[in-house]
Chain A
Amino acid sequence: MAGYQDLVLRVNLTTGKVATESLNKEWARDFLGGKGLGIKYLYEEVGPGVEALSPENKLIFMTGPFTGTIVPCSGKLGIITKSPLNGYILDCSIGGSAAVEIKRAGYDAVIVEGKSDYPVYLLIEDGQVELKEAGDYWGLCCHDTEEKLKKVYGDDYSVLSIGPAGENLVAYACITSDLYRQAGRGGVGAVMGSKMLKAVVVKGTGAVRAADAKKLMDVTYNAYKNDLLTDTNLWAYTDGTPMIVELSQTTGILPTRNFQQGTFDQFANIKSEAVAAAREAKKGCVSCGLGCGNFTRVGEAVVEGPEYETLSIAGSNCGINDLGAIVKFNANCDAFGLDTISAGGTIAFAMEMTEKGIYDFGIRFGDADKYVELPELIAKREGLGAELALGAKKLAEKYGGIEFAMQVKGLEFPGYDPRGAWGMGLAYATAPRGACHMSAWPVADEAYGEGNPFTIEGKAEMVKDLQHYNAAKFSLILCDFWALSFDIMAEMLSALLGEEVTAQSLEQAGERIFNLARLFNTREGLSAKDDVLPARIHRHPLATGSTEGKTLPEEEFIKMLLEYYSIRGWDNNGVPSGEKLQELGLR
C-alpha cells in the first residue's frame, strides 16, 4: 500500500521476542496513522483496568503516511500509551528525525510490550532488530545517553531515550530525541522506564513509495510555496513560540504566580525579543520548511527553546523574571527527562501553598536559585523532589489546595488562562489526556484573533471542529505550525495513496479518532464528572490587565459543556451515543 510500509515491529520485553506482522490496512484507512492509528491499536490491545506502569500496558511508536515523504513538516513521531497520570489514553508527538528513521527502516510502527528484568535498549537497523543490555546507560541523563550511543553507532542514527525521571517513574517524565526534542506530556517517559527500556536506537536506509510521485511533487511544491511559506506560518521561523508571550500578556491570559494573575509585570524579560537576544541558531525537524527551534544559550546552559509553554508555566507562573534561570531550568528538565509544563505547574502550586501558609514546601515565587535545582531532585525523587514528583493533583490530595491545583485529569495546565479564553476552558476539560493545548487551540481566535473571549456562544462548535482538525492532522502526521486546510491535506494524501481522499473524509476521520479516544476513556470509567476545571477558574476573578474581574462562571461552563456533548452526539454524561458510533463506523 503506497504511503505505508505495511509492517509493524512488535517487541516483547518480557520474552525478548522480536517479530513483525502486517499493518492492519483497514485500520490504517480509517485512522490514518500517528495519533489515530496508535489509539486504535492501543484500544484493541490494552483493555480496561490495566495499570499504566504494568507490563500489560504497551508503548506504541507510530509514524504516519506522510512520514519519510517529500511532504514538509511531516517529521513527527506519535507515541501512544495508557497514561500513568490517570489511566486514560495518552498520545504525544516528538519532533526530530526518529520517525523518518523508523519508516525508512521498513516499519509503520514499533509496539513495545511487557517488561524487561534488566535495563535494555532496542537497536533497529533496517530489518536487523536486537535488544541490547543497557546497564552502562541506566542512570545517565538524556543528552549523555544519546551522545554515548551515537559514539557507538554514529551520528546518523536517531535515538529516543529517557533520563533518570523516566527510570524513577516520575509521573511527568518525558521521552527525548535528537538531544533537544521531547514527547513531553503525561508521563510517556515513565511508561518507558517501567519497561526498563532506556532507549531506542534506529537507522533506516529504505524509502517510502508514493503511488503518483510526480503528482505528489507537484501538489506539495504548490502547497510549500503558496501555503506553507506565508506570513501566517513564518512566525514559527522568525520568532517561534516565544512570540506568544506578548500576545498572552496583552490579552490577559499569561499564567502568572500559579494562575493568580493573567499578566506579568516583568513580561518584557521573557518575551520573544529577549529570547532572540540570547539566540545562537535556528533548527528544524527533518523535512521541516519552517524551523521553529531557537538555540538559546545563557552561560553554560543551552536549550532548544525555551518554548512559550516553558516561558509562561515555568516562568511567569513561577514568578521567575530571569530568562537565564528559565533557560537553566529548561536545560535541567531536558537533561533529567522531565516535562517543563508539568514541572513548572507543580512547582508553582507548591510555591502558592507555601506563601499561603497551607504547607511549607520551602519554595516561594521568584526563588530562582532554588527553582533551577529542582528538576534533578524531582527526577531522582530526593528531598523536596520526592513530593513534587507526585504532580499538582496528588500533592493537593495530600496537603490541600485542590481548588488551585491547576490541572484536569491530573495533567497540569499549559500556558493559557481560560478565564480570558472561555473556549480554552472547554478544550482543557474535554481533551482526552487532560489539560492540553494540543487537542484544540481556540485561543488563536478567541483571544489572539477577532473572537470574543468572554462568551460561550459558538465555542462548543469551535472546539469540536478544532479537535477534529488536530486529530486528523496529527494522524497524518503534520506539524502543528502549518495551518493548512483539509483540502491541501487531502490533495497530498490522494497523490501519495493513489486514491481519492476528500477533505470531508479526513474531517470525519478526525471525528472518528476523537470519538475512539473518548471510548477508550469511558471504558476506563470516565464520565462528565471528570470533564471539570479547578475551582479557581470559576471562583477567583483575575485582578489585572484586560481580564480584570473575569472568571469563567461555572454555570456558563456547564452550559457550554452540555452543548458540546449535544452537538457531538454524546449523552449528558459525556458518553458517545450508539447512533454516533454507528455513523463513524465505530460499532
Chain B
Amino acid sequence: MIIIELRGPLARYGCEHGEKGRIEAKADNGVTVRQILNQVPIPLQHVGLIVVNGKKGSLQTMLSEGDSVVIFPVVAGG
C-alpha cells in the first residue's frame, strides 16, 4: 500500500476511511505519482512540491510498496 497525503486546499480531493486529504493506492508495476493522481479529480496545475519518503520527488517518481507521498499545492508569497 502507498499512502498519499494531500495538503492545504488539495485535501478536498481525497478521502479514505473518513480521513480528508488521504489516498491509498496499490504499488502495481512501478506506478508513478502521476498515475495515482490521475485517478482523482485533482488539478495538476495546482500541484506543487511532491515529497516522497521525506525527499523531493516529481510526477514521474516511481513508487514502491510502503512509500509515503505528500502533495503540496503551488505556493506564492511567504
Chain A interface (Cβ within 8 Å of chain B)?
Answer: 230-239, 241, 243-244, 246-247, 250-251, 272, 308-309, 414, 437-438, 441, 443-444, 448-450, 479-481, 483, 546
Cβ–Cβ < 8 Å partners of A230 in chain B: 46
Instruction: Decide if A232 touches B56 in the complex (CB within 8 Å).
Output: no
Q: What's the minimum C-beta distance from B60 to chain A, rounded to whole angstroms?
A: 11
Instruction: Decide if A251 touches B76 in the complex (CB within 8 Å).
Output: no
The 5 closest A-B pairs by CB, nearest first: A483-B76, A231-B46, A235-B8, A234-B9, A480-B77
Q: Please report the C-alpha to C-alpha distance between residue A414 and residue B77 in the assembled complex, in whole angstroms.
A: 13
Q: Please report the C-alpha to C-alpha distance between residue A441 and residue B54 in the assembled complex, in whole angstroms.
A: 23
Instruction: Decide if B78 touches A449 in the complex (CB within 8 Å).
Output: no
Q: List 6 A-B contacts (CB under 8 A).
A: A237-B9, A238-B8, A241-B77, A251-B49, A443-B78, A480-B77
Cβ–Cβ < 8 Å partners of A231 in chain B: 8-10, 43, 46, 73-74
Instruction: Decide if B76 touches A243 in the complex (CB within 8 Å).
Output: no
Cβ–Cβ < 8 Å partners of A251 in chain B: 49, 56
B27-54, CB under 8 A of A: which get 1 and which 0? 0000000000000000100101101001
Chain B contributes a number of interface residues (CB within 8 A of A) equal to 22
Given A243-B8, A251-B56, A236 and B77 contact (CB-CB distance below 8 Å): yes
Cβ–Cβ < 8 Å partners of A437 in chain B: 78
Q: What's the minimum C-beta distance from A305 to chain B, rounded to whole angstroms?
A: 14
- Smallest Cβ-Cβ distance to B21: which chain A residue: A238
Chain B interface (Cβ within 8 Å of chain A)?
Answer: 7-11, 43, 46, 48-49, 51, 54-56, 58, 70, 72-78
Instruction: Decide if B76 touches A247 in the complex (CB within 8 Å).
Output: no
Cβ–Cβ < 8 Å partners of B46 in chain A: 230-232
Cβ–Cβ < 8 Å partners of B49 in chain A: 247, 250-251, 448-449
Instruction: Decide if A250 touches B54 in the complex (CB within 8 Å).
Output: yes
Given A251-B56, A444-B75, A450-B58, A238 and B11 contact (CB-CB distance below 8 Å): yes
Cβ–Cβ < 8 Å partners of A250 in chain B: 49, 51, 54-56
Instruction: Decide if B76 touches A441 in the complex (CB within 8 Å).
Output: yes
Cβ–Cβ < 8 Å partners of A272 in chain B: 7
Q: Please report the C-alpha to C-alpha distance between residue A266 and residue B51 in the assembled complex, in whole angstroms.
A: 18
Cβ–Cβ < 8 Å partners of A238 in chain B: 8-9, 11
Q: Please report the C-alpha to C-alpha distance between residue A234 and residue B12 in the assembled complex, in whole angstroms.
A: 12
Question: Could you say which of B9, B55, B73, B77 contacts A546, with CB atoms under 8 Å apart?
Answer: B55
Q: What's the minimum C-beta distance from A93 to chain B, rounded to whole angstroms?
A: 12
Cβ–Cβ < 8 Å partners of B55 in chain A: 250, 546
Q: Please report the C-alpha to C-alpha distance between residue A383 and residue B10 in the assembled complex, in whole angstroms.
A: 48
Instruction: Decide if A441 touches B78 in the complex (CB within 8 Å).
Output: yes
The A-B contact count (CB < 8 A) is: 85
Instruction: Decide if B9 touches A448 in the complex (CB within 8 Å).
Output: no
Question: Could you say which of B11, B51, B73, B78 contacts A232, with CB atoms under 8 Å apart?
Answer: B73
Cβ–Cβ < 8 Å partners of B8 in chain A: 231, 234-235, 238-239, 243
Cβ–Cβ < 8 Å partners of A241 in chain B: 77-78
Instruction: Decide if A444 touches B54 in the complex (CB within 8 Å).
Output: no
Q: Please report the C-alpha to C-alpha distance between residue A308 and residue B49 in the assembled complex, in whole angstroms.
A: 17
Cβ–Cβ < 8 Å partners of B51 in chain A: 246, 250
Cβ–Cβ < 8 Å partners of B58 in chain A: 450
Q: Please report the C-alpha to C-alpha distance between residue A295 and residue B23 in the assembled complex, in whole angstroms.
A: 29
Q: What's the minimum C-beta distance from A443 to chain B, rounded to whole angstroms?
A: 7
Q: What's the minimum C-beta distance from B5 to chain A, rounded to whole angstroms?
A: 10
Q: What's the minimum C-beta distance from A264 to chain B, rounded to whole angstroms?
A: 13
Cβ–Cβ < 8 Å partners of B76 in chain A: 232-233, 441, 444, 480-481, 483
Instruction: Decide if B74 touches A449 in the complex (CB within 8 Å).
Output: yes
Given A238-B9, A239-B7, A243-B72, A308 and B78 contact (CB-CB distance below 8 Å): yes
Cβ–Cβ < 8 Å partners of A232 in chain B: 46, 73-76
Beyond A231-B46, A247-B72, A250-B55, 5 additional pairs, beta carbon < 8 A: A232-B76, A239-B7, A272-B7, A443-B78, A546-B55
Given A231-B10, A250-B49, A448 and B77 contact (CB-CB distance below 8 Å): no
Q: Please report the C-alpha to C-alpha distance between residue A308 and residue B75 in the assembled complex, in whole angstroms.
A: 13
Instruction: Decide if B7 touches A483 in the complex (CB within 8 Å).
Output: no
Cβ–Cβ < 8 Å partners of B75 in chain A: 232, 235, 243-244, 247, 444, 448
Given A231-B43, A231-B46, A250-B51, A480 and B9 contact (CB-CB distance below 8 Å): no
Q: Please report the C-alpha to C-alpha distance between residue A232 and residue B47 in the assembled complex, in whole angstroms.
A: 8
Q: What's the minimum C-beta distance from B76 to chain A, rounded to whole angstroms?
A: 3
Q: What's the minimum C-beta distance from B59 to chain A, rounded to whole angstroms?
A: 10
- Smallest Cβ-Cβ distance to A441: which chain B residue: B78
Q: Please report the C-alpha to C-alpha distance between residue A380 and residue B11 in the assembled complex, in whole angstroms.
A: 45
Q: What's the minimum C-beta distance from A13 to chain B, rounded to whole angstroms?
A: 35
Q: What's the minimum C-beta distance from B71 to chain A, rounded to whole angstroms?
A: 11
Question: Could you say which of B9, B43, B56, B70 contacts A235, with CB atoms under 8 Å apart?
Answer: B9
Q: What's the minimum C-beta distance from A371 to chain B, rounded to whole angstroms?
A: 24
Q: Please report the C-alpha to C-alpha distance between residue A235 and residue B10 in the assembled complex, in whole angstroms.
A: 9
Q: Please report the C-alpha to C-alpha distance between residue A232 and residue B48 in the assembled complex, in whole angstroms.
A: 9
Cβ–Cβ < 8 Å partners of A444 in chain B: 74-76, 78
Most chain B CB neighbours (cut-off 10 Å) among A232, A243, A437? A232
Most chain A CB neighbours (cut-off 10 Å) among B7, B48, B74, B77? B77
- Smallest Cβ-Cβ distance to B74: which chain A residue: A232
Most chain B CB neighbours (cut-off 10 Å) among A235, A443, A444? A235
Cβ–Cβ < 8 Å partners of B77 in chain A: 236, 241, 441, 479-481, 483
Q: Please report the C-alpha to C-alpha distance between residue A584 and residue B20 in the assembled complex, in whole angstroms.
A: 51
- Smallest Cβ-Cβ distance to A449: which chain B residue: B48
Q: Please report the C-alpha to C-alpha distance between residue A177 and residue B77 in the assembled complex, in whole angstroms.
A: 21
Cβ–Cβ < 8 Å partners of B10 in chain A: 231
Instruction: Decide if B78 touches A244 in the complex (CB within 8 Å).
Output: yes
Q: Please report the C-alpha to C-alpha distance between residue A483 and residue B48 in the assembled complex, in whole angstroms.
A: 14
Instruction: Decide if A235 touches B78 in the complex (CB within 8 Å).
Output: no
